[in-house]
């Protein structure tokens, strides 16, 4: 049996285990473990490999950024930032048709800048914005659909835990990945707002308008979101350790991991100062961070074991060589990969998709000629993969954001939430097409700053 045949069989068995509800980290780990055992012929080699992989994986300094960003998100959730963001956005946009829904999108984008988690963004903003939209007469479909879609901005607007994992897997610069995600993230928020504007014009009964707030009141609420601006500036400005600051003669402040630590401390201090973060809230935040980190690290370890098995089979390299030999157009191969992500997104979570597919897809991306440098192609593909993974969070039947938002209003049928989110999925797909056609949109800011 050739290496690629063995890899295909192992991949099929792993997917079967996942569909049978085995935890994905365990499914990947067991498949890789027995695959290495089969190839090596004795368990001692496999156990030695497992010991080495465990140490190498969890001793990585770069991986320590994950729990710090998760802790920052937990503190942000409990500090009351979400309410201030929504109130400020609502005062500026609420007088427009569908303005409160647009405000929810803007607040999700702002909260994503200090959270880094889609599920946390959807859950937190749903608690704030959903009752307000329903009170103002917004339709059930629009209310739940816009919040489910807006929640996805949590993993696209940097800092993003998924981007960190991608950067570690592909050995990309974390800072460059964050910078590359800024413009697509802003486009996503603007695209969602435009989608709301179109929806309320097609169905005027789905939304209402609020009274226009005087400008002096608008600026007062705008001042209330200063913590978000300051913390985002500290994290994104401070992690400039790898920027080419020689262009402007400015010295870097700290590394990405140090930036995550500073962000977590700053968010926690703000929560304590405002009274939103109590001692119980602090303990709950630390416990939730530990649980999320353990889950992520377990999946990462399982993926590393499976990737080690793939390295033994040489399947990714052989697949890349085969694709190159066929002479397929690079954009065709990329399109098929993105479609595969959309399909996987219907049944898998975002982190699992990234860990499962990148070791197979990325070697192919490296050998295809997109007219970009290898680093540019890696950054561009990472942002595209993140966007289509994000779409998976709002597509049935396992769109996690849909279930989170719907659980907050159990009297709303899930079918209404599905109808409400469909236009936003279309907006995402249009954005993917634009970013595929024009890589410069993603890479422009990176080129300016580096």
Q: What is the pLDDT of residues 14-54, one digit of tens each?
A: 888 877 878 888 888 888 888 888 887 777 777 877 778 78
CB 19 within 8 A of CB 346: no
Domain-embedded: residue 9: no
Greater pLDDT, 348 or 403? 403
> Rounded to 5 degrees, what angle do the CA atoms 31, 170, 26 make?
20
Asked if the structure places residue 275 within a domain, the reply is: yes
Q: What is the pLDDT of residue 436?
A: 94
Average pLDDT over residues 128-135: 86
Residue 300 in domain: no
What's the half-sphere exposure (Cβ side, CA atoms, 13 Å) at 368? 25
How many structural domains comprise the chain?
A: 1
Range of the domain at 192: 63-294+316-449
pTM of the entire predicted model: 0.86
In a domain, 43, yes or no: no
d(CA 443, CA 177) in angstroms, rounded, equals 10
Mean pLDDT of 402-422: 84
248 class by beta-carbon count within 10 Å (0-12 exposed, 13-18 middle, 19+ buried): exposed
pLDDT of residue 325: 82
If you search the block for the tokens 């973060």, which residue do you land on? 277
DSSP state of 311: H
Distance CA 13, CA 434 (A): 36
The mean pLDDT of the chain is 84
Please report whether residue 240 resides in a domain. yes
Q: Judge contact between 205 and 121, C-beta under 8 A.
A: no
For residue 54, being part of any structural domain is answered with no
Q: Decide if 165 contacts 300 (C-beta within 8 A).
A: yes
Structure tokens at 263: 């962000």
| pLDDT computed for residue 250 by the predictor | 47
pLDDT attached to residue 51? 79
Residue 94 pLDDT class (50, 70, 90 cuts): confident
* pLDDT above 80 for 188: yes
* pLDDT at residue 136 greater than cutoff 50: yes
Q: Report the greatest alpha carbon distance in the chain.
A: 75
Residue 302 lies in a domain: no
Distance CA(397)–CA(347), nearest Å, equals 7
* CA distance linking residue 74 with residue 60, whole number of Å: 23
- Read off the pLDDT band of 430 (50, 70, 90): very high
Q: Among 280, 250, 365, 265, which Cα is nearest to 316's?
A: 365
Please check whether residue 421 lies inside any domain of the structure.
yes
Q: Give the pLDDT confidence score for residue 1 in this predicted structure.
A: 66
Q: Is the pLDDT of residue 246 over 70?
A: no
DSSP H or E run through 388: helix 374-392
C-alpha triplet 62, 116, 112: angle, nearest 5°: 150
Q: Residue 225 pLDDT > 80, yes or no?
A: yes
Alpha helical stretches, state H, 79-152: 81-93, 99-115, 118-135, 140-151
Number of other CB atoms surrounding residue 229 within 10 Å: 13
Question: What pLDDT is attached to residue 382?
Answer: 93
Angstrom distance (rounded) from CA 183 to CA 369 = 24
**What percentage of the chain exceeds 70 in pLDDT?**
95
């Amino acid at each position: 049996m050739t290496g690629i045949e063995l890899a295909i069989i192992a991949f099929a068995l792993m997917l079967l285990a996942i569909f049978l509800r085995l935890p994905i980290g365990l499914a990947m780990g067991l498949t890789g473990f027995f695959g290495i055992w089969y190839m090596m012929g004795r368990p001692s080699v496999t156990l030695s490999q497992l010991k080495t992989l465990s140490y190498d994986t969890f001793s990585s300094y770069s991986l320590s950024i994950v729990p710090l960003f998760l802790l920052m998100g937990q503190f942000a959730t409990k500090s009351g930032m979400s309410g201030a963001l929504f109130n400020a956005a609502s005062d500026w946009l609420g007088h427009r048709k569908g303005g409160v829904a647009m405000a929810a999108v803007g607040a999700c984008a702002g909260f994503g800048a200090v959270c880094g988690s889609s599920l946390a963004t959807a859950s937190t903003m749903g608690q704030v914005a959903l009752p307000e939209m329903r009170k103002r007469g917004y339709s059930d479909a629009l209310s739940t659909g816009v919040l489910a879609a807006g929640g996805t901005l949590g993993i696209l607007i940097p800092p993003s835990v998924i981007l960190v994992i991608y950067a570690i897997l592909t050995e990309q610069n974390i800072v460059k990945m964050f910078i590359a995600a800024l413009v697509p993230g802003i486009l996503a928020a603007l695209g969602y707002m435009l989608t709301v504007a179109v929806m309320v014009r097609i169905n005027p009964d789905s939304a209402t308008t609020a009274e226009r707030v005087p400008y002096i009141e608008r600026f007062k609420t705008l001042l209330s979101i200063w913590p978000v601006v300051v913390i985002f500036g500290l994290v994104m400005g401070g992690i400039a350790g790898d920027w080419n600051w020689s262009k402007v003669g400015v010295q870097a402040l700290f590394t990405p991991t140090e930036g995550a630590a500073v962000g977590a401390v700053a968010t926690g201090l703000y929560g304590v100062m405002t009274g939103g973060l109590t001692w119980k809230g602090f303990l709950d935040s630390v416990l939730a961070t530990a649980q999320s980190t353990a889950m992520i690290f377990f999946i990462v370890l399982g993926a590393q074991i499976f990737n080690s098995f793939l390295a033994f089979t040489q399947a990714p390299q052989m697949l890349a060589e085969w694709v190159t030999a066929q002479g397929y157009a690079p954009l065709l191969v990329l399109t098929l990969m993105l479609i595969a992500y959309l399909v996987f997104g219907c049944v898998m979570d975002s982190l699992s998709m990234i860990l499962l597919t990148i070791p197979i897809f990325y070697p192919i991306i490296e050998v295809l000629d997109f007219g970009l440098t290898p680093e540019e192609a890696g950054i561009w593909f990472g942002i595209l993969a993140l966007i289509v993974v994000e779409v998976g969070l709002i597509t049935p039947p396992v769109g996690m954001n849909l279930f989170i938002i719907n659980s907050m209003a159990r009297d709303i049928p899930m079918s209404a939430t599905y109808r409400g989110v469909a236009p936003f999925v279309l907006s995402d797909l249009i954005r993917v097409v634009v970013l595929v056609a024009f890589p410069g949109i993603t890479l422009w800011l990176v080129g300016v700053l580096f």
